[in-house]
A and B are shown apart, each in its own frame.
Chain A
Amino acid sequence: MSQTHIDQRDPEKSTISISLDVGLYPIEVLYGAAYIFIDRCFVLLDREGGEGKGAGRFVVRLRGKSPLTTVQLDDLAGEFANELLSQALRRKIVKQNQKIIEEITTQAISGAAGGSLPTDFLDTADDGLDFLDDPLGIAVPWEDKFKKKKEGADA
């Protein structure tokens, strides 16, 4: 199976399912792309197949809020794939240019605020830029969490 694939399209239900290799995109990118579509579609994210981290496939089911033809469904899937790529690339660019983005944002806000930023501004800004990190493990698939716990318990 290709890395990103249309699994199913059902014009009667205005639904299309896409699956993608778990290792292809970080889950935050998947969330970011999915969110963009919630005004047009009902979005269901799932995961199937494979064992452990990096195995299996993410499944994205998009159901149009209004009736969609086969062509429109294919366009929707294509647009979703484009959004995934765009989010992934932007994530990389933001990481690369993090320092300059932080500097300019801080200067712009402090310039507007008259130099007196809230005491937690820089920390908050860091949090904003590191939104792709997941210190609480919220984005960790439950299978992985469960597996780790189970392994820990076994040990």
Chain B
Amino acid sequence: MSQHVTNGPTALDAQSLPPLSPAEHDRLLPHGNTLQLQGLIDPGKVKADFAVPFNHRAFGDKVLISNDLGDHAWLSPLELQALAYGDVASGTALYDRLASSNFIAATVDIKAQAERWRKKKQYLFYGPSLHAFVLTHRCNHGCQYCHSSIVGMERTDTDMSVEVAERSVDLAFQTTSPGVSIEFQGGEPMANWEVLQHVVEYARQKNALAGKSLSFSLVTNLSLMDEEKLDYLLDRKVQLCTSLDGPAELHNKIRIWKGGNSHEHVIKWMRRINQRYADMGLDPNSYRIEALPTITRQALPHWKAIVDQYLDVGCRAIFLRKLDPFGFAAKSAKTLGYSMDEFLEFYAHAVDYIIELNRQGIQVMERHAAIMLSKILADLEPNYLDLRTPGGACIGQLGYAPDGSIYSSDEGRFVAAMGDDMFKIGTVEDTYHQLVTNGATRAAVMAGLNDGQPDCVSCVYKPWCGQQVEYNYKTQGSLHGRMRDSTWCKKHKSIFDYLMHKVLNANAEDLAMFQRWTINRKLEHFLQDRGTL
């Protein structure tokens, strides 16, 4: 285990942390507030055409403003008043600052900004690029939070057939997106190894003509990995991703595997795969097996041990993923679940620790933070499907089930696994055109737009945030949900608040660290060669 453990609980026998007082909670998770405009802005004096439309949020004596282009600025209340009244003289520092971030209407270069908007919203000009293939519902693990409808390993009848697989690949290649990313999921997708290989070969063959930017990724628990399979996956440049919930005691408590010690096995193969990447001459800073933890109630006190475990196995990025409301996670919410406040406290503890590690020279980042900061500080659109508007359902991704059903997304098929086909948009017998133009797709797009959503339309985080219609439906009963009491909104707004507070108070070194987190390292190795076999 790494030696950089400096604070927080050190042993897994600490099963719970004392609840934080409201003041402690606020110190850990500083939040913004609705700005009190009364007494500050006289509606009669507002010069409506001076500034472009903007939203605002108060952070102590500073006000954060943002516009739909994705620019932001920090103002004092009086500077905000001046902007609202159109009382900012040309040539002043404030004018220059506001003009350079596109808040003064007369100075906005419409053509340049339209091009910038188009570049960031390029996902509106293409069809789905992520194609999640559920190769089987079989799995040899019994993870307590699994969101899939898993069955025992003997149930080969739940495997995707070669025919369905080929038809799914055919559909995926009809996307108008220049990129096709096929993600193998399950169950445990390696249980249907022959079809996995067939999809890889068949897609590569198709791409010899299509010339798409083709990539494969495999989400696996690694339990069925062996050297021969690894040789194949590395040879075919299949990116690997696994689940690692933290140290052994925590991981094995939730990720139950009758076949052995799941944690030991995962760690062994993670190290082996990373070594193989290094042996291939790939930069170890960029090429590592990806891993994701799912945060359960049992994990909450162990933020530091989880981060340390990830560092210890060579990861430099960690995605602190909240338990979702689908599948077993919904059924076992009483034993595994927690409040959003509890998750956010966990998150802040962990990211505070990650920041501290960076200050000590250990480079590691949290993915939510990196995605959000990429949008805010680097003006990038990472196309993270859960944080874009409209969301990724149907037009950013499609989920392909073994029986040939096609869903709006991975989450759409999780809802189906709970007995509700709300997000089934068709089958492999349909044409691609039918799938992306049907009423369900249109409804998902419209509902997933921030521009039609109360709260979102007036939120300072609107240009960088998004919704997931499947989450809205599952938690609040409609595609639109209600953001005011949505845990989705609470989670993202709180993390945005936390990060913006950090940015506002960052010194030069911390700001450089946050900028570093926004660098998107393109993993070119995992792209298949275009137009060749």
Contacts and interface: CB of A to CB of B under 8 A. Distances in A.
A83 B477 CA distance: 10
B477 A39 contact: yes
A105 interface: yes
Given A83-B482, A112-B395, A113-B127, A101 B454 contact: no
B451 A100 contact: yes
B272 interface: no
Interface string A83-101: 1001001100110010011
A108 interface: yes
Contact of A90 (B127, B176, B454, B476): B454
Interface string B304-327: 000000000000000000000000
B176 A112 contact: yes
Interface string B161-202: 000000000000001100000000000000000000000000
Contacts of A97: 451-452, 457
Given A111-B125, A112-B395, A128-B446, A93 B482 contact: no
Given A36-B477, A36-B478, A117-B437, A111 B451 contact: no
Contact of B477 (A37, A105, A124): A37
A105 B176 contact: no
Nearest to A39: B477
B419 to A, nearest CB: 11
A108 B441 CA distance: 10
B443 interface: yes
A152 interface: no
Contact of B442 (A39, A83, A109, A111): A109
Given A37-B477, A108-B124, A117-B437, A82 B176 contact: no
Interface string B437-449: 1010111011001
A111 B127 contact: yes
B466 to A, nearest CB: 13
B433 interface: yes
Nearest to B118: A107
A149 B454 CA distance: 39
Given A105-B445, A112-B175, A113-B436, A93 B126 contact: no
A121 interface: yes
B452 A101 contact: yes
Contact of B452 (A90, A108, A124): A90
Contacts of B175: 112
Given A93-B454, A114-B176, A101 B449 contact: yes
B176 A108 contact: no
B437 A111 contact: no
B30 interface: no
A36 B453 CA distance: 17
B61 interface: no
Contacts of A89: 454
A105 B390 contact: yes
B288 interface: no
B391 to A, nearest CB: 10
A105 B437 CA distance: 11
B434 to A, nearest CB: 9
A139 interface: no
B176 A109 contact: no
B442 A125 contact: yes
B453 A90 contact: yes
Interface string B66-79: 00000000000000
Nearest to B454: A89
B399 interface: no
B477 A113 contact: no
Contacts of B453: 90, 93
Nearest to A107: B124
B444 to A, nearest CB: 10
Nearest to A86: B482
B451 A104 contact: yes
A105 B482 contact: no
8 contacts: A36-B478, A82-B484, A86-B484, A93-B452, A93-B454, A101-B451, A104-B449, A117-B437
Q: Which 10 A-B pairs have the closest CB atoms?
A: A112-B127, A112-B436, A36-B477, A111-B125, A86-B482, A89-B454, A114-B176, A97-B451, A94-B452, A107-B124
Given A97-B457, A101-B452, 12 more contacts: A86-B484, A93-B453, A93-B454, A94-B452, A104-B449, A104-B451, A108-B124, A109-B442, A111-B123, A111-B395, A113-B436, A128-B446
